[in-house]
Structure 1
Amino acid sequence: MSKALDDPRDASLETKYCVPGTWYSENFDGIGTSGMFLSGLIMVTRNRYIAWPSVLFGISSAINVHPLRAKDGGGGAGTLSNLLLCFGALIAAYLPMLMISNVSNATTAPLPTP
């Protein structure tokens, strides 16, 4: 009798497939993706002016994470890496201003004329 209840081929034991209630849908974070794209663009072009919107997108993505609406926990680690990438791009954009000195404007002694 217990064998009949455990038989996977028994049609009376079938249940309808349904997604668990905690899975909303595949979570697409457009703001986080935009922040990561801008961070990559900053690393390539060294444009300081788009570093600030990238940081704002990263902070917004970190604040608006919904761990129960997505499969696999909602990407808490992905949000942290996105935020670190945005801040890293901000630092990479402003770091050359602090490290590179403008040597061409330095006063030098004139060359002696023969």
Structure 2
Amino acid sequence: MDFKRLNILLCCNLGASTGVMVTKMREIAAGSTALKDVDVLIEAHPASDIKEYIDHFDVVLIGPQIKHRFLDLKEICDERGKPIEVIDTKDYGTVNGANILKQAIYLRINQTEAN
């Protein structure tokens, strides 16, 4: 990987439902040999607070329960040059932290290549 830092912001309605996901993703990142040299930060916050937190993160993933807000959130992210995607419903529902972490990594890699 061509980066030494990966700061991931997870957003949902209140930031609570993604809390479990944050814990799972942190566990996976900590045990990953591919990420051993990468400083990984993962936090969850309510989508309504995105403007307050976005500048501290590299990528934004939103819970599928708020995908109806994607375009509004994408506008904010685009203004700040931050990539954003909706988390896959199945991965979210099964708390598949590995797949969601991969999604964030791919977003970060694509962002790095674009710049």
**TM-score scaled to structure 2, two decimals?**
0.26
**TM-score scaled to structure 1, two decimals?**
0.26
Larger radius of gyration: 1
Higher relative contact order (CA 8 A, sep 6+): 2
The structure whose residues are more often strand, as a share, is: 2
